[in-house]
Amino acid sequence: AADPDAPALALVTHHVEEIPPGFSHCLILSEGKVVDSGLLTDVLTAENLSTAFGQSIALDVIDGRYFARRTRSRAAHRRRM
């Protein structure tokens, strides 16, 4: 968070829309395995979400908030784990 003296907080969600501004790091898991971890801006990507969910995901960022949606891609997304 913005305050370095604030206690650490972990948010667990399947919905990126629930991530409030101020979070700095991210861990993406799929079937108990780490897809990626690190800075939120580096880790929370359409590619990583597509890998985690096993389908094509588009990711938008509007005013610091994240919005994910499944795309209508006809090509099957292959897991790269």
Give tens-digit pLDDT for 44-70. 999 999 999 999 999 999 999 999 999
pLDDT at 74 over 50: no
pLDDT at 15: 96
- Please state, in angstroms and rounded to a whole number, the distance separating the CA atoms of residues 59 and 49: 8
Q: Which residues contact 5 (CB under 8 A, 6 or more apart)?
A: none
pLDDT at 80 over 50: no
